[in-house]
Amino acid sequence: MQVRTQISAFFYIVFLFIACTRVPLVQNLSTLRSSIFRITVTSQAPDWDKPWTNEKVITSYGSGFYIGSQHILTNAHVVKFAKQITLKGDRDPNIMEAHVTFVANDCDLALLTVDDPKYFKGKTPISLGEVPELSSKVTTVGYPSGNQELAVTEGVVSRLAYRTYSHPALSKHLLIQVDSAQNPGNSGGPVLQNGKAIGIAFQGARTLESTNFVIPIPIVKRFLRDIEDGHYDGEMQLDLSYSEDLLLNPSVREYLGMSTPNITGGVTIGHISPWSPFAAVLREYDVLLALDSLEVATDGTVPMFKERLPLDAYIDLKNWGDKISIQYMRSGSLHNETLVLTPPGSHFEPRLSFEKPKYVIYAGHVFTTLTFNYLLTFGRKWYDEAPLLLKRAFWDFEEEKDLARMEELVILSRRLPHKYTKYSGVYLNNIVVSIDDIAVQNLSHFNTKLKEKIAIGKPFFLNFWRGEKMGPLLLDPRQGEKVHQQILQEQNIEHEIYL
């Protein structure tokens, strides 16, 4: 059920504004406009199907704005896979090269800077504001369609919600819905109110009228706090499921021993991952009643920014290392705990990657890691077209004991055409769980063990998850070594490994 929701959300929120308004306080725009930049990006995405190659080079446009400390704030999707980034200021003929200092792909934010600190001289940093109220006026400023002229549109705040960010597609965060016009090129530009940025324009809904979305400032502030130590640790992972509305049901309340009449809210905890920061405290069947003294209602919401939003949205604003106090009920007894939100150990995460894909090629067999990007190589209907085992492994790896222990899922993704690989087709898109009896942990570990086996020079087996029916794949280094370099040369592959 959860997977379907994510899929539909992913395709519902669709277009990103890579390419703003009469400001309510018009007097400020003349001051602020020189702090809003057009960003031109030349990028080249990797090819997850052939990980040793890249897609063609493309040029795209976005917007960004100066927030002080030599930093321009924009969207991560504006600068993804960037080979070159240039800035052009409002009514400024100069073009300045920029580079990424921090990127948060999980919440679509990035910070850029330039090498020449004088570039920002005379430019007023745009202050970060607060979460705006519903129906209040906002002004979107940016460079839609990649045009050189600053464009300004005006609208109101329509909604505050917790929805999927289409970059990176699999994460939900707080967002503001506005009806001011936004178009490709607006991405990364500020949405202003009273001379302050209340958010960053980043995506819209293609099928809905005047429905555009803005990343609110609390998300930006979480990102900025995270990088204070010079490293981005990433978004908070809840890694547990809870059931909305079930505590409206008297049977469930009675079963869980919730006879206390003054407790009317709460949600039941369903599955909790061993990697959840709450795993040390909460268990299945617990009832979560409050977070930091905010009462959790039966629909899973807490009061935030004068609205009621899912508790996930509240936790999402926390940084790793923050404390959180929770109140929960177990077997009819109330418990209060305060815990430090500690990042989990290394484990497989079903995510979209924005880094060059890892791969290992041996004797015409291409091994890579299972990512969302790889599933997308099966097309827009990947949720139908991708092999069942890959879909299961990606979404439900925790349920499969052979996979849950792995940090990365190593798949045999391709066989390069050659007589030696001719019989390996049946094993494609299967997950390697072991080499002989050595359990694979990740692609790097796989590569190490592969090399050791090759050095021994005797045939060895690759065993695949759920591969009982087809049996293992035998690789014989005595034959493999003869053809390995030849296949690489034939395919013009310069590097046999990228880890």
Partner 1 sequence: MNCLKNFKTHTILLASMWLLFLVNVISPVPSALAQNASPKSMKNTVLILKADVKKNLGAYPWEFPHSLTVNSLAVAIDHNLFITLAENISGGMGFQLQKFGSPDLFDAEVIYTNYEVNIAFLQIKKSVDRPILNPIKIIDTALTPLDIADIVDRRTHSEVDFHEASLRSLSLGRSSTSYFILPYHVFDAATLARVTPGAPFLRDNKLAALAVMQKGQKIFALGAPIIDKVLQEYLQGGKKNSFGDLMLYAHPLESPDLRAYLKLRPGGVDQGILVTAIAKKSPFSDKIKAFDVITHVNGTGLNYYGEYEQEHFGLVSLAALLSGYGGNTPVSLDIIRQGSKVHVEAALAPFSSDKFTFSFKPDRTVIDHIILGGAIIQEINEDYLFKFDQNPEKWEENLPVDLAMLLSYQNDPYSHADRTYFVLREILPNIHVKGYERYRNLVIKSINNQGANSFQGLMESLKHPVSMNQKDFLVIEFYDHTFPFIMAQEHLGKANNIVKEKYQINEDAVFFPAISSKVGREIK
Give, in order, the Cα–Cα distances in Å from 498 to each of 197, 284, 372, 476.
41, 41, 18, 23
Instruction: Name the minimum Å distance from CB 370 to partner 1.
Output: 15
Q: Are strands 212-216 and 410-415 parallel, antiparallel or unpaired?
A: unpaired
Query: CB 347 → partner 1: shortest distance, Å?
Result: 18
Examine residue 3 and tell whether it contacts partner 1 (CB under 8 A). yes
430 binds partner 1 (CB under 8 A): yes
Q: What is the Cα–Cα distance from 499 to 494, expressed in whole angstroms?
A: 14
Options 43, 71, 77, 365, the catalytic residue: 77
CB of 68 or CB of 472, closer to partner 1: 472
Interacting residue with partner 1 among 245, 355, 436, 452 (CB under 8 A): 245
Candidates 206, 323, 422, 482: give the one binding partner 1 (CB under 8 A).
422
Choice among 43, 60, 71, 108 that is catalytic? 108
CB 180 within 8 A of CB 155: yes
Interface map 257-276 toward partner 1 (x if CB under 8 A): x-x--------x-xx-----
Please identify, using beta-carbon distances, which residue of 158 and 268 lies nearer to partner 1. Answer: 268
What is the secondary structure of 268-319 as a DSSP string?
EEEEE-TTSTTTTT--TT-EEEEETTEEPPTTSEEEETTEEEEHHHHHHTPP
Cβ neighbours, 10 Å, residue 44:
14
Query: Which CB sits closer to partner 1, 150 or 267?
Result: 267
Contact 462, 435 (CB under 8 A): yes
CA dihedral 42, 48, 50, 52 (to 10 degrees): 60
Nearest CA to 367 out of 306, 320, 425, 414 is that of: 414
Query: CB of residue 261 vs partner 1: minimum separation in angstroms?
Result: 15
Q: Which of 475, 484, 487, 488 binds partner 1 (CB under 8 A)?
A: 475
| Nearest to partner 1 of 76, 411 (CB atom) | 411
* Residue 469 is a binding residue for partner 1 (CB under 8 A): yes
Q: How many beta carbons lie within 10 A of that of residue 38, not counting itself? A: 26
Per-residue b or e along 137-175, where b marks 16 or more CB atoms closer than 10 Å to that residue's CB: bbbbbbbbebeeebbbbbbbbbebbbbbbbbbbbbbbbb
How far is residue 99's CA from residue 227's CA, in Å, rounded to a whole number?
A: 16
Q: Which residues contact 446 (CB under 8 A, 6 or more apart)?
A: 360, 367, 410, 432, 435, 440
Which residue in 60, 180, 187, 276 is the catalytic one? Answer: 187
Q: How far is CA 470 from CA 280, 285, 354, 462, in A?
A: 40, 40, 34, 12
Closest by CA position to 289, among listed 320, 251, 247:
247
How many C-beta atoms surround the C-beta of residue 225 within 10 A? 14
Which residues, including other chains, have CB under 8 Å from residue 345's CB and lie 6 or more apart?
Answer: 275
The backbone torsions φ and ψ at residue 484, rounded to the nearest 5 degrees and listed phi first, read: -55, -60
Judged by CB under 8 A, the chain residues 336 through 365 that form the site for partner 1 are none
77 is catalytic: yes
**246 lies in the site for partner 1, by CB under 8 A:** yes
User: Which window, 43-51, 69-77, 190-198, 419-427, contacts partner 1 (CB under 8 A)?
Assistant: 419-427
Pick from 468, 492, 494, 495: which binds partner 1 (CB under 8 A)?
468
CB 100 within 8 A of CB 82: yes
5 lies in the site for partner 1, by CB under 8 A: no
Q: Tokens 């390995």 belong to which residue?
A: 484
Residue whose CB is less far from partner 1, 12 or 382: 382
479 part of the interface to partner 1, by CB under 8 A: yes
Q: Rule CB under 8 A: say whether 334 interacts with partner 1.
A: no
Given 184, 476, 483, 491, the residue binding partner 1 (CB under 8 A): 476
Q: Which of 337, 423, 452, 482 binds partner 1 (CB under 8 A)?
A: 423
Q: Pick the binder of partner 1 from 53, 59, 69, 243 (CB under 8 A).
A: 243
Residues binding partner 1: number (CB under 8 A) = 50
Residue 157 binds to partner 1 (criterion: CB under 8 A) = no
When the beta carbons of 35 and 424 are compared against partner 1, the nearer one is 424
**Closest separation in Å from C-beta 466 to partner 1:** 5
Judged by beta carbon, residue 133 or residue 284, the one nearer partner 1 is: 284
What are the backbone dihedrals phi and psi of residue 38, each rounded to the nearest 5 degrees, phi first? -90, 130
Residue 276 and residue 285 in contact, taking contact as beta carbons nearer than 8 Å: no
Q: x-or-dash pattern for partner 1, window 358-397, by CB under 8 A?
A: --------------------------xx-xxx-xx--xx-
Residues carrying an active site annotation: 77, 108, 187
Using CB under 8 A, list all residues that contact partner 1: 1, 3-4, 241, 243-252, 254-255, 257, 259, 268, 270-271, 284, 298, 332, 384-385, 387-389, 391-392, 395-396, 422-424, 426, 428-430, 459, 466, 468-471, 474-476, 479
